[in-house]
Amino acid sequence: MAPESGTAVSRTWRLRVSRWRPGDAHPHFDDFEVGVGADATLLDALRRVRSHHDRSLTLRYSCCHASCGTCGMRANGREVLACVTRLADLGPGPILVEPLGNARVEHDLVVDMRDLYVSLEPAGRPLVRQDSVLAGQDETAASPGFFRYEDCIECGLCLSACPVAATDPLYLGPAALAAAWRVTQEPRGGDPEPVLAWVDDEQGCWRCHASFECSEACPSGVDPAGATMALRRELTRRELGRLTRLGRRAR
Amino acid sequence: MTSTTVHTRPTRGRVRGVLAYANLRRRHLGSVAFVTNRITGLLLVGYLYLHLGILYLLTEGPRSWTTVLHLFKNPAFLGLESLLILFILIHGLNGLRLALVGTGVGVRHQKAWFATAMSVSGCLYVVVVLAMYGVI
């Protein structure tokens, strides 16, 4: 058969895909040998599996160009967006394909993202209107992180890579903390104080153990670990300021 | 298609937590630093209890204490002691890195901080070992 995508040169790849459906006692791995173009992506190969080998394979994808963040999964143990991950970059194989970690698996490679979305809500995430950017305002001068944090596509890769999220289900997680820092930097008329109070908690920015895996995994360069450290710096600065004022009053 | 190995899906709980905590498979330098600090920290806590146990021998009289001092002079024991110093150096300097990075200082250079901390630890360890064995 002709390769589904990429160049005309076809190559056979071996995928070892994690399978689990509700009712199964345990998940298991299924092996597939797929012929796709030499520059095909992991998503191309998985779609090939669905169309030619096993139509019951469940995966989630939409835009196919790293904008929607729906095709997050782990390939050979690392968090990736399947749509922009070339098979050639994953080694000779077999390529181990697993669902994201630190989330409940719903079916095969699909995980429940509600925890992530719920964790983002308290940050508020004000919308940035295009007209305000086009109005000639120098947004970046006022806030260097403005565009950077807008890049979050809510894919959940950072949460999957986080070792603290794996040990503590109550931890807010890197995506929520990055959103909180984004709101603090660019409140858009909102009040950032409740957001700072929200993250100033043992399950908030202080729970992070600085392994920086979230920033390594982020496909959009959001740098959630940097945002978490920035929140700590801001909270420390405020606390030191408060103590200084108290000291002055005492004198 | 071939159905192959069965694996156990991790569940939220202690086993998963501890495994995830120390799992360095396909992880980056930040995780290596993260796990290194935990392991050296646990070893130092273990040493603290050992130290207290040895101090307890003081209450058993001069004879038992002399036996312990004799053991301390054994070259093999000196080797273990030098490892203790290595763990202290690694934990201390990596801890300093964490304190700086954790309050927003040099966050973008956290890998360089770690490499520096480990390099300085290694150099100081060599000096300590040479001094312990009377080379310098």
**Residue-averaged pLDDT of chain A:** 87
**Same-domain pairing of A169 and A83:** no
In a domain, B16, yes or no: no
Question: Are both A159 and A219 inside the same structural domain?
Answer: yes
Flag whether pLDDT at B135 surpasses 80.
Answer: yes
Residues A76 and A148 in one domain: no
Q: What are phi and psi of A218, to 5 degrees?
A: -60, 120
| Residue at A5 is within a domain | no
Report the C-alpha gap between A131 and A129 in whole angstroms: 5
Q: Over range A103-120, report the average pLDDT.
A: 92
Instruction: Please list, in sequence order, all residues whose beta carbon lies within 8 angstroms of the beta carbon of residue A27, skipping any fewer than 6 positions away.
Output: A18, A19, A20, A105, B6, B7, B9
Left if phi > 0, otherwise alpha if psi is -120 to 50, otherwise beta: which for A188? left
Interface residues of A toward B, Cβ cutoff 8 Å, are 16, 18, 20, 26-32, 53-54, 76-78, 101, 105, 163, 166-169, 209-213, 216, 225-226, 229-230, 232-234, 236
Are A151 and A213 members of one domain?
Answer: yes
CATH number at A17 reads 3.10.20.30
- Residue A106 domain-assigned? yes
Say how many domains are in chain A.
2
**Chain B residues 14-33 with CB within 8 Å of chain A:** 16-18, 20-21, 23, 25-31, 33
The answer to whether residues A70 and A177 belong to one domain is no
Q: What is the CATH number of the domain that holds B64?
A: 1.20.1300.10
Which residues of chain A neighbour B101 with C-beta distances below 8 Å?
210, 229
SS3 content of chain B, % helix, strand, coil (to 5): 80, 5, 20
Nearest CA in chain A to B110: A212
- More confident position, A20 or A148: A20
For A232, the closest chain B residue by CA position comes to B103
A33 token code pair: 């040998």
Number of domains comprising chain B: 1
ipTM: 0.76
- How many of the other CB atoms lie within 10 Å of CB of A12? 9
Q: Above 90 in pLDDT, residue B21?
A: no
Q: What is the mean pLDDT of residues B58-74?
A: 85
pLDDT for the residue numbered A135 = 56
Looking at the domain assignment, is residue A122 inside a domain? yes
A210 vs B17, B28, B101: nearest CB: B101
Confidence of residue A204 (pLDDT cuts 50, 70, 90): very high
> Domain limits at A129?
114-250
A1 in any annotated domain: no
Q: Is the pLDDT of residue B27 over 50?
A: yes
